[in-house]
Structure formats: C-alpha cells, structure tokens
Amino acid sequence: MLKTTLRTLLCLGFLLPLVTPAQAADAPNKRDITLDDLARLVRVGPPVVSPDGQWVVYTASQVDTKEDKTLTHLWMVKWDGSAHVQLTHGKEGASQPRFSPDGRYISFLSSRPGPAKGEQVWLLDRRGGEAQQLTAITDKRIENYLWSPDSKTLLLTLHPKHEPDTEEGKPPAPPRPIVIDRYHFKQDIKGYLRDDDWDSLYLYDIATKKAEKLTTSKNVDEENAAWSPDGKWIAFVSNHDADPDRSNNTDIFVVESRSGSAPRKLTTWTGPDGGRLAWSPDSKSIAYRQGAPLALLEYSQDKPAVVTLDGKVSYPAAKLDRSVRDPLYSPDGHLSYLVADDRNQYPAEVELSGDSDKRLLAQQGAAMAWDTAAGHIAVLYSNDEAPGEIYAFENGALRKLSTHNDALVAELNLVPTEGVEFTSKDGTEVHGLLTHPASFKAGSPVPMVLFIHGGPNGQDEHSFDFLRQWLATKGYAELNVNYRGSSGRGQAYAKAIAGDWGHYEVEDLLAGVDKAVAMGVADPNRLAVTGWSYGGILTDYTTASTDRFKAAISGAGVANSLAFYGVDQYILQYDNELGQPWKNSQLYLKISYPFFQIDKRIHTPMLFMGGTSDMNVPLIGGEQMYQALKSLNRPTELVVYPDQFHGFTRPSFIRDRYERWLAWWNKYTNPSAITK
C-alpha cells in the first residue's frame, strides 16, 4: 500500500520539492560494472532461522584475489533488522550453519585447525567464547549433518576417505590405483567411484563423541535426511534397487532414530522420489517431490507429493504443471513449495487435498531458498537488478534483512531485463529475456550475444546476472531463451526434446534471435552465440544449423554423442533415453551431426573451453571439435583450465573466462571495440 501511494504522489509531483537542484547535483554519479566487481560481489547463501524465530544465520562468500580463492563465512541478522553480526573469520571458511534446537549453539562445518584434521562440525556457544571442534571423524568425510530435536545427537552423512590426511611436515602419500567395479563409475567433483563410495547416515552422540551407523543398509546412498519433530523417526532418500547404479529409482525411507535400525520403504513410484524432505508438524507425514519416469530423467518437472508413515501417497495441487522444490510446513500444517514458473521462482501454498495452488509472492524475481521457524519465514531472493540477499517474508511481502551488496549496487549503472515472447517454427510459443545497453536507442541495433543456459532442465529467470550487466556496458545486448527442454513451462514443454537433441531447441533459439532483430535491438550482422554445458552443446548444434552468427563459444560441450557413452556421468540418460549405441547407432549418429557433418555445416569461428577435471561434460568434447575444425583449417581456438570441474572454482579462471569471451566476441562482431 505504501509503495503504491508513493508512486502515485511522485506521478502527481507532490514530492518533487523534497529534492532540490543542489541535492541533485551532489548525487553520486553511477558507473559501469567492471570485472573488478566480481571480487566485490558477495554471494549470500540460504537462510537458517533460529528456533525462536528471532535470528537468521547464513553464509556470505567473497573472492580473495590475493589467495585466488573464494572465502565463505557465517553471518547472522536479527529478525527486526536491528543487528547484523559476522560470526566467523579466517582463511579456512565455514559452511552449513545450523542452530541447535535448544537455541544454545550455532554449528557449522569447517576445516580450520583443531584436534582432528579435515572438515569437522564446530560449535559456537551463543553466550560467547571461541568456536570449539565438536566432531573428530578422520576415516570419513562429513557431507552433511543435522541436530536431533533434543539437541543431544547429530545425524551425520558420511562418505569414505580413500587417501589419509597428510601429516604436518611430511610429503603426501603417493596415490594408489583406483579399482572400479561399478556401473556408474564417475561423477564430477567426486571423481572415479569405488565399490565403497556410498553416503551413509551415522548417529553422533555429543556426550560420548561416538558415531554409530544408523541403518543396516549397505552399498546404497542415504541422502537428504530429515528428523521428525518428535524425534522418533528419520526419513531419507535412497535407491534400494538390486543395482542402484543402473536406475534413478530413489524412494523415501523411514527408520527409527537409533543405530542399527532397519529402514522401511514408504514410496513405490518407479522414478525419482526425493529432494529436500519436510515433516508435517505432527510427525505423521513427509512432503517431498516426485519426478518423471526414468525415460524422462533429465526433463522431469517434479510435482508435490506427501507420504504418510504407513505408505499412503497423495498429490497436493495435482493440477500444478510446474517444477517444485524445497517443501515447508507452517506450524498449523499448511504446505508450501518453491515453484519454477516462466522466468520466475516463487513460494506457493499447495492444497493438500485438492488441485489448486496459491502463489504467495506476486513480484517478479527468484526466491532461491527459504527456511522457517516459530512462524517466521526467511527467503534468499534476487531480481534482475539486485543480487541475492536475505529477506523476511511476511504477509505476501518481502522485508530486506541483509545488505551485503547494497553499497556496490548503489554505485552501479544497472540496466533492466525485459521478458520477450515469440513463436517458434512449428508454432510453439517460446519465452525469453532480453537485456540491452543503457545507451541503446531505438533504430540503432547493437551487437548481440545469444547466451544459452545449460541443463537443459533449468530456466533463465529474473535474477541478478553479472554477465548481462557487464555485456551491456560493452555495448552488447544479451538474449536468453527458455527453449523446449527448459523448466518453468510444464512437463510437455520440457520433454519435447527427449531423444531428439539439436532440433526443437535450435528452432526456438533462432526464433528468439529473429524476435530481437525484429524489435530493432539486435544487429543481424553482428550476432554471437555462447553457452556452457548443455548451452555449449546447443552452441555446437546452432552453429551447425546456421551461418548467421559471426562468432561462437562452446563451453563444456560435446558434439559427438557416440563418443561420450561411458565417458561422462550420464550413463543412465544414455541407457534410458537413447539406448545403447550398438543397438541404436543411427540415433547417436543423427544427434551427433555437428561433428560428423562439420565439414559441410560449420563455418563460424569457434572457441572451445573446459576444465581438465570435468567429469560432467569432459574436456574431450571440446577437444574433438577443436581438432576437427583445425583439420579443416577453419578459425578456432581451445582454452583449457587446469584442475577445474564443470563449475569453476578458481576466481582468476572465472575472470579469465569473461575476458576471453569478450575478446572473441569483439574480434568477430565488434572489432572496433578491441582497440578501445
């Protein structure tokens, strides 16, 4: 109401006398965003609300340019916004903050020096004093942890350690051979998977400091655990098929909260049941999300689901055709999820015994994470011109609590992003986002980068994007298209590309380019295309489908799908969606047209990028395309980033990637900018 009133008064001119000409002259000049701001930008993590609802703890990450790494520390803000405190310091960082249910402690994971090496759980007494190391787990790695409702026990998710910690003053032990006998044998970041590489749940008694295995299960992953409010049960997600490596058939299990308990399977859907779990306040049911059948593994638009302790499954908001995640129960039993819907992400309450849902936040933007306690809800939220911060969510409105990026944003000349809608070749309606420079003038088209998101099961949304803002300062427009295969538009839209890669996505992308050209924003003679992961794959497909782009950059992509069977981490997708190559070789050849028809179809100058440690989409995909274009004496370049996974972690490499992107685009679409 207040916002509407102020807007009305401004329109009527009633508030204009409040700003004098002298004051206007003293207002700071805005500046363009620069790559130096990558180090100033603070990445705020998910909120955790204290048991009494009066505080919110979260992580804040920022680049340390001298150490060339990102440091993450804990911060806490009071619910009324009156106090804001940094809780941890130092070079080791901290993650996964939690409040003990009795409110006495704040716990976190850190590898800071202590009695036991490696990442351990530490405790901060809220009454004061230094942090104390709580756990001493040396033979396994702590992946996650939870407090029991009585604050006496930690539920640890542990993963085996295969190499001992290096003793101080001694060289590291030489690596040993990795013996593998598993079907799914590699995973990005985790690396090669051994026979005992499973995540297991353990109960850690805080008084005795002893850890005991929770379940009798062996050779299965136990993930996303959640303690029932009454403390009697622990629910978790696992796959108990004969060979869990050969399916994604995860289910919800429940087990008594004592060591050596036998888990009981609650769900029977042949497909993924899981995600973050949420117990009802009465400890009688568990909310989760249910995915699509196994054949649509990578295109699932997960729907709300609830299972009772006796295994009865129901589907709240059964007609909701949008992907959901992170369920939350209110104290009175109302259930809500975060919903990905057409370039936005918002909380929505779902009708437990009906078909409907109710959007709880009307404004445009992305609610990326949330938590609740004592009737208070905190949200990590971002929009086009505001990096993610912590907000209190009250009565359908957001009240800002954290302000890490306010000073930086106040300096910057940020530009808005508009939604665009258009029709693809076959008549399908497609939606996207378009950002153009602040200096853009109608009738004067500018060079444009079509930047393609990965996934494909994701969406470009109205959240802060550094690249969009930075490109605008360089005179470029940026187009983002939620092509078929993306989330946010329903299950039929997402599954349209299953087994038919490089077809409808390309048509949708090119229709978006046509729209930007028709709007007078994009100069048709100065177009570039770029993407990472599936966005890199689609860059290969797009340049093999048209010569209209003057430059292309394919990051962590692959064009020869036939050569990737058994090379990347997606063995289940190949088996379920494409079939085995020796049984369906013609389909593999068909969707590998950018590589096998490269001599006839690709003439665009192409830059390829990737990390040497990427097991998601290994570097070989870019290497093959680079080598093929080199063989044809066509303009190409390969940039290799040592020791980087699919998502880069070294800040200097992240900056280098931006610089190389711009240099390649400028070289072929805006050569006059190179000398500026």
Which pLDDT belongs to residue 608?
98
Q: pLDDT tens-digit profile of 320-351?
A: 999 999 999 999 999 999 999 999 999 999 99
Please state whether beta strands 636-641 and 606-611 pair in parallel, antiparallel, or not at all (unpaired). parallel
Mean pLDDT of the chain: 93
User: Who contacts 23 (Cβ-Cβ below 8 Å, separation ≥6)?
Assistant: none
Cα separation, 343 vs 434, in Å, equals: 12
Question: 419-455 in b/e burial notation, b at 16+ Cβ within 10 A?
Answer: ebebebeeebebbbbbbbbeebeeeebbbbbbbbbbb
Task: Give the SS3 label for residue 38.
Answer: helix
Whole-angstrom CA distances from 448 to 78, 305, 342 are 44, 42, 23
Q: Which of 179-183, 264-268, 635-639, 671-675 is predicted least confidently?
A: 671-675
Strand partners, 285: 308
Query: 451, 422 in Cβ contact below 8 A?
Result: no
Q: How confident is the model at residue 297 (pLDDT cuts 50, 70, 90)?
A: confident
Which pLDDT belongs to residue 665?
97
Residue 2 has pLDDT above 60, yes or no: no
Q: pLDDT tens-digit profile of 518-553?
A: 999 999 999 999 999 999 999 999 999 999 999 999
CATH annotation of 137-163+184-360: 2.120.10.30
Q: pLDDT tens-digit profile of 482-497?
A: 999 999 999 999 999 9
Query: 610, 553 in Cβ contact below 8 A?
Result: no
Cα separation, 438 vs 445, in Å, equals: 13
Of all residues in the chain, the percent with pLDDT exceeding 70 is: 95
Sign of the CA dihedral running 516, 517, 521, 525: positive
- Average pLDDT of span 137-164: 94
Task: Give the SS3 label for residue 659.
Answer: helix
Q: How confident is the model at residue 28 (pLDDT cuts 50, 70, 90)?
A: low
Sign of the CA dihedral running 440, 441, 446, 450: positive
Query: 144, 96 in Cβ contact below 8 A?
Result: yes
524 phi and psi, to 5 degrees? -60, -15
Cα separation, 520 vs 533, in Å, equals: 30
Which pLDDT belongs to residue 616?
97
- Average pLDDT of span 86-102: 95
Cα separation, 609 vs 636, in Å, equals: 11
Alpha-carbon dihedral of residues 97, 101, 106, 110, nearest 10 degrees?
-50
- Give the number of other Cβ atoms within 10 Å of residue 173's Cβ: 11
The gap between the terminal CA atoms of the chain, to the nearest Å, is 48
Cα separation, 447 vs 84, in Å, equals: 43
User: Who contacts 642 (Cβ-Cβ below 8 Å, separation ≥6)?
Assistant: 611, 612
Which pLDDT belongs to residue 8?
29
Which pLDDT belongs to residue 15?
29
Question: 282-307 in b/e burial notation, b at 16+ Cβ within 10 A?
Answer: ebebbbbbbbbebebbbbbbbbbbbb
11 phi and psi, to 5 degrees? -60, -35
Q: How confident is the model at residue 29 (pLDDT cuts 50, 70, 90)?
A: confident
Residue 17 has pLDDT above 70, yes or no: no
Which pLDDT belongs to residue 674?
61
Structure-token pair, residue 422: 């258009």
Residue 1 has pLDDT above 90, yes or no: no
Within a 13 Å sphere around the CA of 208, how many CA atoms are in the beta-carbon half? 6
Structure-token pair, residue 528: 């570039």
Structure-token pair, residue 647: 């998502």
Strand partners, 62: 71
Counted residue by residue, the chain has a size of 676
Higher-scoring residue by pLDDT: 672, 436:
436
Residue 636 has pLDDT above 90, yes or no: yes
- Residue 364 burial by Cβ neighbours in a 10 Å radius (0-12, 13-18, 19+): middle
- Residue 474 burial by Cβ neighbours in a 10 Å radius (0-12, 13-18, 19+): middle
Sign of the CA dihedral running 140, 145, 149, 151: positive
Residue 622 has pLDDT above 60, yes or no: yes
Which pLDDT belongs to residue 23?
39
Give me the residue label for tokens 């550094």.
466
Structure-token pair, residue 317: 């908001």
Q: Where are the domains of the chain?
A: 29-110+368-414, 137-163+184-360, 415-644
Cα separation, 55 vs 610, in Å, equals: 41
Structure-token pair, residue 529: 């295309």
DSSP 574: I
pTM summary value = 0.93
Cis peptide before 51 (omega within 30 of 0): no
Which pLDDT belongs to residue 675?
45
User: Who contacts 593 (Cβ-Cβ below 8 Å, separation ≥6)?
Assistant: 502, 541, 544, 601
83 phi and psi, to 5 degrees? -145, 140
User: Who contacts 511 (Cβ-Cβ below 8 Å, separation ≥6)?
Assistant: 422, 423, 424, 425, 430
CATH annotation of 415-644: 3.40.50.1820
